[in-house]
Amino acid sequence: MPSTDFDGDFPTRGPAVMGVSAATLALCSLFVAFRLVSRFLVVRKPGWDDYTMIAAWILAFGASFCICYSTTKGLGRRQQNIPPEWQEPMKKSSYVFSVLYNPALMATKTSILLFYLTLSKTHKVFRWATIATLIVVNVGGLALTILNILQCRPVDAAWASPVPDSAHCTNIVTIYLSSAPLNIITDLAILFLPMPILTGMRLPKKQKVILVLTFGFGVFVAVVDVIRIAYLQEAQRKTLEAAQANTSESGNEQRNTGDFAWFSSLSFMWSTVEINLGIMCGCVPALKPLVRRFLPSWVIDPTQRETATHTSDEPVLHPEILDSRRRSDPLSDPLTPPASPLSKPRPARRSGGDEPMGMMDFLTTPDMNELPRLRPSNTGITYSTAAPTRRASMTFFDFVNTGQKKNITLRSNRESVYPVIMVTILFFVWGFAYGFLEVLNGRFQEVVQTSDWEMVGQHSAYYVGYIIGPLTFGRIVFKTWGFKASYIVGLSVYACGTLVFWPSAVLHSFPAFLISNFIVGAGLSTLELSANPFIALCGPPEYAEVRLNLSQAVQAIGTIVSPLLAKKALFRPDAASLIDVQWTYLGISFFNIALAIIYYYVPLPEATDEELELASQRTVPAAREATVNIGSRPVKVLWIGLGMVALSQFCYVGGQESVSTSYMEYINRVAPSLDYVSQQAYGHTAFALARFLAAAADIWVKPRFSLLFFYLGAIAFAAAAMHASGTTGAAMIVMVMFFEGPLFPQIFAQGIRGMGKHTKDAAVVLTVAIGGGAVIPPVMFAALKIHNSQYAFCVIVAAFVVGTLYPIYLNALPASRALSDPVRDEKTRRESEAEEKRRGSFSEKLRRWSKVKRRHSWTKEEQLPAVEHRERRSWPEGLAPQTRDSLAIEPVRTRTPSSSGSSSGQ
């Protein structure tokens, strides 16, 4: 018992922590019990996911018990209000909790992912994504568990009071915050992995909504994890303030003198909530058979007939067909009345041997009976899967059609507006992100006091991601699954990179921050890998540069807005500012995940390599075969041009980033009285304006001329900036950025023109060439350190001079001009115009027919529902459902066993 010195009225969080932890543990235990009843007694089909969930509950019980016990030993109190004899037992129980926390989450998530593997054996992407998430959960969880076990050396120092000087302990708040990115990433992955399968199923709307909501309960776990982080940040603020003051709070000091018991108590409470709520959410999908048994009205819509479960790539038969085939099934008893919704369901009829039905059947079939066996028939309707065809159209909750339509190379200007706008949104996202990244790097440098060369390293790490990302997973995704898949993967990887900033800022670790920048670059490079060629290819080929300039101009607007917002309104160079940056990037991460989900359901056109080849054959068939002799060997102009454009891209991006990274030093040298932030905003504005102007010019001027013009302008003003001073020097660097603006879209659009089936590989090469931003800026910075920022502009001039070799090559060689100059696709244009005319003619006829129909329409009672009429027209011959009209015409036949057998054989 504590001494009287510690009795009295003082603030404590202990009772609240104990109450919440015990309550969530009780609810968690109830859910696990219901799950076991459902799977072991109702379904009688337990699996590894059930046994793993039992292990998760045991670990959750231990973790919750440790927290409840800790509250009886001072957890939740201020340091001065904890008796000395309570310190060791409180620290021991807290240590045990920290060791059990990650294994409990590992077991819970492993159970859910094992359950996912039972949902579908045909969706290979889903299965491999689930397996990859399973590996990340267990490998990352194991590493964090080991880190928690070895948080002190020797281990027993973790509960020593006080911690001896000979021991070394890591700041426990740092350890807990370091696990945040992994938990949030895996939470979001588990939440959204099954959604494409669930939303693609052909189910009654009520069942689909229930199914999606059932699997969507995991969103609460991610929310709880964010709340937990918020309380940990309160304790971490002191550590960052110490780092900024050139002092440090060691793990030993934090455990001996800090208010860890007070600050961490609510974080521990939310950690137990996270564990217990995760188990509850993991148990919800397995409770459907139990709910169906005792509360059938919750999961059955009495107005809907029983329907089979189908995914989007399977043939779908109407319930009437299934019912008619059930009636003709000799294995079923026609005299048996249908079961009451409140009665116990009949045992599932198994299709082969004693193997029970799959889990997806239990989740989606209303009466918990196995899907009916369909008898083969000799109708003319068959579903062939032998020939490679495009996937059938899929609807999301029956109102968004995600099916594939006309490929991007066949679209008219009008048809390309919508997809171009949707992808242009992504340009704005990464422009906005890049602006924030610059501010983030600067704030990190100021708070943690990294050196100038480390700052350059952070910038280079971002562009190294542009080299690695497209050459590895980016190319695989782009070539295998197309444009939209690259957007989704790029946004997801980018979100992971922003989340990794948490441990890098918490640890104020330069290597961790390099990793964060690298992952962000890899994600955005995958996004850019497909977005740039999509804009260039989606629509008439003669306007490729126009479209890409406009989209890239929108990206530049994002680059203007985000630094101003960040520097002027959001972030200050102090420890609190760095925490604000973390929350901002957490918000950006969630926004990107939401955007990736939205883009999964947004219908966007695609183009295969074969379709891209046909598009090139329609426009520049001869130019693609042109060759020049190098020595005695003929080489296609196509490949020479690709090498030249990659070199130009490399040099341009390197020069552009050199201007951007040296902007502040240059302004401080030539005009120190000017505001650097405002001046850079002027430069970004000129950059964006130039792209709009170039888009207009490219309608009338050949793009190779405008490319040469803007390159020469950039060289001239960069050379002038070396000798100008005052406001003239500030104006020179703004003009450099103006002439830089259109270079990237001009280079990219002309670089992929005429590549045909190699277009996607050319896009990979040009995206990798953006890695020049990792090479040339360090050279520029070395010149700046050795001499000054004005002299260092010689590196920029040299980079642009080398880049200008590409437009000179285009204008000098006739074969390259024939390949790079825009050519109208006359055949596609004529077909589009004819299609527009047909569409207009059909619309006019439809309007006329609507007027006639309204004039001679039936009464409301006589009209058939539109959906029924539409479905009746689509039935295969002999399989149409019986309606009142047909029953009035056809004689009623008495069903006999013989007639049933004959009907099934027809």
User: For the domain that residue 276 is a member of, what is the CATH number?
Assistant: 1.20.1070
Q: How far apart are CA 163 and CA 257, in angstroms?
A: 10
Q: Is 353 helix (H, G, I), strand (E, B) or coil?
A: coil
Whole-number Å distance between alpha carbons of 821 and 736? 26
The percent of the chain in helix, strand and coil, each rounded to the nearest 5, is 70, 0, 25
Domain stop point among 835, 867, 900:
835
Q: Furthest-apart CA pair in the chain: how many Å?
A: 102
In which domain, by residue range, is 830 found? 413-835
What averages of pLDDT result for each successive group of 10 residues across the chain (906 residues)?
Answer: 51 88 94 90 86 94 92 84 83 89 93 87 84 91 88 82 77 74 85 82 73 77 79 63 51 62 81 91 83 66 47 40 42 42 41 43 45 38 37 42 68 91 87 72 67 81 94 93 92 87 70 86 92 94 94 88 68 57 76 87 91 89 82 86 95 94 90 84 91 94 95 96 90 95 95 93 96 93 90 95 95 89 83 74 60 51 39 40 43 41 36
- Beta-carbon contacts of residue 725 (< 8 Å; ≥ 6 apart): 670, 671
What tokens appear for 495 in the block? Answer: 């979100």
| Helix extents (H) in 37-83 | 48-71
Look at residues 416, 704, 661, 693 and name the one whose alpha carbon lies nearest to residue 546: 693
As a whole-number percent, the residues of the chain with pLDDT over 70 amount to 72
The residue behind tokens 């990037």 is: 585
For residue 63, with 0-12 CB atoms within 10 Å meaning exposed, 13-18 middle and 19 or more buried, which class applies? buried
Q: What is the pLDDT of residue 623?
A: 79
Give the whole-angstrom CA distance, residue 445 versus residue 664.
Answer: 15
CA distances from 728 to 39, 106, 721 (A): 77, 61, 8
- Contact (CB, 8 A) for 466 and 770: yes
> At 883, is the secondary structure helix, strand, or coil?
coil
pLDDT at 181: 80
Distance of CA 710 to the CA centre of its chain: 36
Is residue 718 a contact partner of residue 793, using CB atoms and an 8 Å limit?
A: yes
Q: C-alpha 479: how far from its chain's center?
A: 18
C-alpha 774/C-alpha 574 separation (Å) is: 28
Closest CA to 346 of 327, 332, 328: 332
- Number of domains into which the chain is organized: 2
Q: Which residue in 431, 427, 653, 432 sits closest to 551, CA to CA?
A: 427
CATH for 547: 1.20.1250.20
| Residue 553 is assigned to a structural domain of this protein | yes
Whether 373 is covered by a domain: the verdict is no
Which residues are registered as beta bridge partners of 168?
Answer: 153
Examine residue 318 and state whether it is found in any structural domain, yes or no.
Answer: no
Question: Is 629 inside a domain boundary?
Answer: yes
Specify the pLDDT at position 298. Answer: 58
Give the total residue count for the chain. Answer: 906
Angle between helix 637-661 and helix 805-812 axes, rounded to 10 deg: 150
Radius of gyration for the alpha carbons in the chain, expressed in angstroms and rounded: 33
Q: Which of 793, 819, 835 is the last residue of a domain?
A: 835
Assess if residue 179 is contained within a domain: yes
Residues 877, 878, 883: CA angle, nearest 5 degrees: 105
Q: Which amino acid is at 161?
A: S
pLDDT at 571: 55
Whether 767 contacts 474, CB under 8 Å: yes
- Paired with 153 in beta bridges are 168
State the Cα–Cα distance between residues 618 and 827, nearest whole angstrom: 8
- The answer to the question of residue 369 being in a domain is no
Tokens 């906005």 map to which residue?
432
Helix (H, G, I), strand (E, B) or coil at 168: strand
* Cα–Cα distance, 579 to 585 (Å, whole number): 10
E strands within 246-311? none
Residue 665 lies in a domain: yes
pLDDT of residue 342: 37
Residue 227 lies in a domain: yes
Which of 835, 853, 884 finishes a domain?
835
